[in-house]
């Protein structure tokens, strides 16, 4: 069967906006354009009602009360509010923050900022599959620990962390638990109550909504979870995120959440896993010397991160321009430093430089997966034959002998 090129398999970077989501948004750009904070006329009432409906839709997806949903510009801002806001508000109780070595930079960088402000940050190691060991977390939590931040699903290797167990441990110890759920939302069931989550970061464009909109779940109850704001100017969103609300984007994120809630109750997620597994089975069958990075037992249903030994990831992506995917390494042309995630797993230098991430999405087809497998089976052997690194005895360089810096930047 013919397929339309190029093929998009980079759904961890962003997802296409679902046409049904766009349809729901359009009236709020043109007809219902009011400011949700303008409560003195019908235009503002209608906008505010749309914002509150979206809160309900997103809350239903993650098991939250609508009043616990705060709108932000995306998961990066949500992470900053959660980490900086919580740590600064609880400084009198302690100055110890725990996170994980494989977190997204949107968590690691705010943690580095906290260190500059005098906080102590522990970055937990992970096992070969990318998961933390609960006993490590338990050992690190002390009387001065105020915050634990562990992402729900890794953006590179798709590894799922044991959120319920982490949340239970944090709740027992009286420690605030934050999770960056940008990659997991809409792809696995999430329930902030059952998982004892206090703060959760969400991003609309990761689950077929628009870019530029995100949310932060902030637990209510007794006691209330208090955060210091990181920006000021009007007191919107319970004083934690000032600024005029982007009503069309909020409507889109809410509608995208409602569609994901329907999919979780259907076979849609199983279909994602089936296509992902078909891709991996085809690669293993047609191409030698490949390895999956991360565990397959606790993984997002749409994620596949593969090292094609003997082929630089950047070279492979150039050779398969018809396929949108991502390098599994965070290299730059200047430093050639490998991915901090893969290094934390203990993956050797050569394998980190040959890793490619594929992200299957809602709109991918079986025919596209088969086309990608055939294309890879053609290009990988060709690139290996051209690569002098495959023959270090004849003047090439064996990447496994290179000593990388200790920096995770």
> Using alpha carbons only, how large is the chain's radius of gyration in Å?
22
372 three-class SS:
helix
- Give long-range contacts, CB 8 A cutoff, 24+ apart: 401-409: 402/349, 404/337, 404/338, 404/343, 404/349, 405/337, 407/337, 408/101, 408/108, 408/340, 408/343, 408/344, 409/337, 409/340
Q: In the 3-class helix/strand/coil scheme, how is 232-247 assigned residue by residue?
A: CCCCCHHHCCCCCCCH
Report the candidate in 163, 169, 174 with the shortest Cα–Cα distance to residue 135: 169
17 has catalytic annotation: no
Catalytic residue chosen out of the listed positions 17, 111, 170, 331? 331
Rounded to 10 deg, the angle between the 366-386 and 268-286 helix axes is: 30
- Overall residue count recorded for the chain in this entry: 409
Report the candidate in 219, 225, 198, 262 with the shortest Cα–Cα distance to residue 18: 262
Residue 94: how many other CB atoms lie within 10 Å: 17
Catalytic positions, please?
Answer: 331
């Amino acid at each position: 069967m013919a397929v339309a090129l190029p093929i998009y398999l980079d759904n961890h970077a962003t997802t296409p906006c679902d046409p049904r989501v766009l349809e729901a948004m359009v009236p709020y750009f043109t007809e219902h354009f009011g400011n949700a904070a303008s409560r003195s006329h019908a235009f503002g009432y209608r906008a505010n009602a749309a914002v509150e409906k979206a809160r309900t839709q997103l809350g239903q997806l993650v098991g939250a009360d609508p009043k616990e949903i705060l709108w932000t510009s995306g998961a990066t801002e949500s992470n900053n509010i959660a980490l900086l806001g919580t740590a600064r508000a609880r400084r009198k109780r302690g100055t110890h923050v725990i996170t994980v070595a494989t977190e997204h930079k949107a968590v690691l960088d705010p943690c580095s900022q906290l260190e500059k402000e005098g906080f102590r940050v522990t970055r937990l190691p992970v096992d070969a599959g990318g998961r933390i060991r609960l006993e490590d977390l338990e050992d690190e939590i002390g009387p001065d620990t105020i915050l634990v931040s562990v992402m729900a699903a890794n953006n590179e290797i798709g590894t799922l962390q044991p959120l319920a167990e982490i949340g239970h441990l944090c709740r027992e110890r009286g420690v605030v638990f934050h999770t960056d759920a940008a990659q997991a939302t809409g792809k696995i069931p999430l329930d902030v109550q059952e998982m004892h989550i206090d703060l959760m970061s969400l991003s609309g464009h990761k689950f077929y909504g628009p870019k530029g909109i995100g949310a932060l779940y902030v637990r209510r109850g007794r006691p209330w979870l208090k955060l210091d704001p990181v920006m000021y100017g009007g007191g919107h969103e319970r004083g934690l995120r000032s600024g005029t609300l982007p009503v069309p984007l909020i409507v889109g994120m809410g509608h995208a959440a409602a569609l994901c809630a329907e999919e979780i109750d259907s076979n849609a997620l199983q279909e994602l896993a089936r296509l992902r597994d078909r891709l991996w089975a085809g690669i293993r069958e047609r191409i030698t010397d490949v390895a999956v990075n991360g565990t397959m037992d606790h993984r997002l249903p749409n994620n596949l991160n593969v090292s094609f030994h003997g082929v630089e990831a950047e070279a492979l992506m150039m050779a398969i321009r018809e396929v949108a995917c991502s390098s599994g390494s965070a290299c730059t042309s200047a430093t050639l430093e490998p991915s901090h995630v893969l290094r934390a797993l203990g993956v050797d230098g050569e394998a980190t430089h040959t890793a490619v991430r594929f992200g299957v999405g809602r709109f991918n087809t079986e025919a596209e997966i088969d086309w990608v497998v055939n294309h890879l089976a053609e290009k990988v052997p060709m690139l290996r034959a051209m690569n002098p690194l495959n023959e270090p005895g004849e003047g090439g360089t064996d990447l496994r002998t290179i000593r990388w810096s200790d920096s995770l930047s």
